[in-house]
């Protein structure tokens, strides 16, 4: 997905002379094309993410659009103060791109994992939070992000993510995409793990349970209408995210359900309130934390039984 992001950004930059890219000594093998094509609009500030964010904010305050780019938690947690005080407070046109969200860099340990980022970013005023599920969403999300005026957090996958959508998609910030129809339960996913929710729905279908699947590519602003429709039409909801169950997609959906007073069976599938203390591949870690298609399907079956 990072290659899709970088190719799309380069295409947009060809027609947008006010688009800049700022990196923190990362992205080799991906960002060279932008740097070579637009050397005066590319800055590598070194391993200094706080400075990267400040430079990007300065570029944006001069009437431009600045994109910051780094691995997982480095462009977010390491420079949170600058994002809060410089970018968001001034509503600067800075787009924060984190490559390899969740446990995509599982082999490198917790220092390279982003499992609290959605909660942190969605808590910041004026910040849009996007986590595309596949290449189609990734391309569309870059265009939407650059068009939007103001801060955006873009949680990008790493590589080789499977396709969730078979054809053309209608991508709008704040509007979920219905990937699969269903009347018995709804699985709401965000980011690349949404594909596992889709596989779980396929398993459920073989067991006589029809599961709706929503790709909630925008965690903020959340598509409350899609959540309320799922509540009324399926009567049970599970959220699926590669993130701590506190404060991310599950928390956002829970807020909508609590305020609606729906009182339906609901659960959050994700990483429990702990750090990832083991090292392994992304797929292995997802399975270990109960985010396999089979585990998701079992949880959804439990919700359907509660509903009945």
Give the predicted TM-score (pTM) of the model.
0.96
Q: Would 2-156 and 177-307 be classified into the same CATH topology?
A: yes
Q: Is 304 helix (H, G, I), strand (E, B) or coil?
A: helix
Q: Hey, where are the domains in the chain?
A: 2-156, 177-307
For residue 43, the model assigns a pLDDT of 97
For residue 167, the model assigns a pLDDT of 85
Mean pLDDT of 268-294: 95
CA 270 → CA 187, 191, 196, 267, distances in Å? 12, 12, 12, 10
Q: What percent of the chain has pLDDT over 70?
A: 100
pLDDT digits (tens, 9 = 90+) for 114-150: 999 999 999 999 999 999 999 999 999 999 999 999 9
CATH superfamily label, 2-156: Thiamin diphosphate (ThDP)-binding fold, Pyr/PP domains (3.40.50.970)
For residue 307, the model assigns a pLDDT of 86
Q: Identify whether the C-beta of residue 102 lies closer than 8 Å to the C-beta of residue 196.
A: no
Architecture of the domain defined by 177-307: 3-Layer(aba) Sandwich (3.40)
CA 160 → CA 64, 77, 135, 195, distances in Å? 32, 26, 9, 12
CA-angle at 33, arms to 30 and 55, nearest 5°: 80
């Amino acid at each position: 997905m990072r290659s899709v992001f970088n190719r799309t950004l380069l295409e947009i930059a060809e027609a947008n002379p006010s688009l800049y890219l700022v990196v923190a000594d990362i992205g080799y093998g991906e960002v060279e094309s932008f740097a070579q094509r637009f050397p005066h609009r590319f800055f590598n500030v070194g391993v200094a993410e706080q400075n990267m964010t400040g430079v990007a904010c300065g570029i944006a305050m001069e009437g431009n659009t600045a994109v910051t780019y780094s691995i997982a938690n480095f462009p977010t947690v390491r420079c949170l103060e600058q994002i809060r005080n410089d970018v968001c407070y001034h509503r600067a046109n800075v787009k924060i791109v984190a490559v390899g969200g969740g446990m995509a860099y599982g082999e490198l340990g917790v220092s390279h994992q982003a499992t609290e980022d959605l909660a942190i970013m969605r808590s910041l005023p004026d910040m849009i939070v996007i986590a595309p599920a596949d290449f189609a969403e990734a391309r569309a999300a870059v265009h939407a992000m650059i068009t939007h005026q103001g801060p955006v957090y873009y949680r990008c996958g790493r590589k080789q993510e499977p396709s969730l959508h078979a054809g053309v998609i209608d991508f709008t910030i704040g509007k979920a995409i219905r990937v699969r129809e269903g009347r018995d339960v709804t699985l709401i996913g965000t980011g690349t793990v949404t594909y596992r929710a889709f596989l779980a729905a396929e398993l459920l279908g073989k067991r006589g349970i029809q599961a709706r699947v929503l790709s909630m590519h925008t965690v903020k602003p959340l598509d409350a209408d899609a959540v309320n429709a799922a509540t009324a039409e399926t009567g049970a909801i599970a959220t699926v995210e590669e993130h701590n169950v506190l404060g991310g997609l599950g928390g956002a959906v829970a807020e909508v359900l609590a305020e609606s007073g729906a009182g339906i069976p609901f659960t959050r599938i994700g990483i429990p309130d702990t750090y990832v203390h083991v090292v392994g591949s992304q797929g292995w870690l997802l399975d270990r934390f109960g985010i396999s298609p089979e585990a998701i399907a079992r949880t959804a079956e439990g919700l359907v039984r509660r509903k009945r």
